Chains A and B, each alone.
Chain A
Amino acid sequence: EAGVAQSPRYKIIEKRQSVAFWCNPISGHATLYWYQQILGQGPKLLIQFQNNGVVDDSQLPKDRFSAERLKGVDSTLKIQPAKLEDSAVYLCASSLKDLNTEAFFGQGTRLTVV
């Protein structure tokens, strides 16, 4: 079974630039999540999609972050403009149903904002 795919693996940008991350979840998984993991901390949920609808985006900084899930499958997360404190690993995860079922994580995209 193919896992959750993310790209790119690494990205370095200057502050105030924009960046986009892509995620392809496990086939058939209804729920997709984006997490932000700052070095030394556990992941923090940014947004949760159920199919192509948003279930929870309460911790998404909507002034600079946006996300969409195309046709209920792939998803993109965008940051515009980036700040230094956005430097983190951005993890995409998917689960068959909801967060009470097992979540499978991608390898993440490490973003460095300089």
Chain B
Amino acid sequence: KNQVEQSPQSLIILEGKNCTLQCNYTVSPFSNLRWYKQDTGRGPVSLTIMTFSENTKSNGRYTATLDADTKQSSLHITASQLSDSASYICVVSALAGGGSNYKLTFGKGTLLTVNP
């Protein structure tokens, strides 16, 4: 069964500190992995999209890593800001049912709170 597991479930850090969020997946056949940021009351916004051959991808203070062999990904946030407080969702895209249609499998997200 395709699954995406994220840890920790929630995290509280002080402004200016770094943090790392984890994502393990069992989705196959793998196509790409995405990290989304979802602010409270808003829809998810894409941070990064990584394909099988990409190990690291950065978007400002966000750096995602991907190990396709161990099926693990991480999202590292550097010098956190209050505006980073949000839910971070790991999503994996895979071909569905042997056809040409893709499906997204969502993790439950990590709720990050950045305190002053």
Interfacial residues of chain A within 25-58, with CB under 8 A of chain B in the complex = 40-45, 48, 55-56
Q: Are A40 and B103 in contact (CB under 8 A)?
A: no
* Size of the chain A interface, CB-CB below 8 angstroms: 23
Q: A40-B108, A43-B106, A56-B101 are in contact. Are A102 and B46 (CB under 8 A)?
A: yes
Shortest distance between the CB of B116 and any CB in chain A (Å): 25
Q: Are A107 and B101 in contact (CB under 8 A)?
A: no
Q: A42-B89, A42-B108, A42-B109 are in contact. Are A102 and B49 (CB under 8 A)?
A: yes
Return chain A residues, CB-CB under 8 Å to B41.
107-108, 110
Q: A42-B89, A42-B106, A100-B93 are in contact. Are A108 and B101 (CB under 8 A)?
A: no
Give the segment of A12-20, A62-70, A91-99 that binds chain B: A91-99
Cα(A41)–Cα(B87), bound, Å: 10
B104 at the binding interface (Cβ < 8 Å)? yes
Inter-chain CB contacts under 8 Å: number: 51
Sample of 22 A–B contacts (CB below 8 Å): A42-B89, A42-B106, A42-B108, A42-B109, A43-B44, A43-B106, A45-B103, A48-B101, A55-B101, A98-B101, A99-B93, A99-B103, A100-B31, A100-B102, A102-B34, A102-B46, A102-B49, A103-B104, A105-B43, A105-B44, A105-B45, A110-B41
Binding site for B on A (CB under 8 A): 4, 40-45, 48, 55-56, 91, 93, 98-100, 102-108, 110
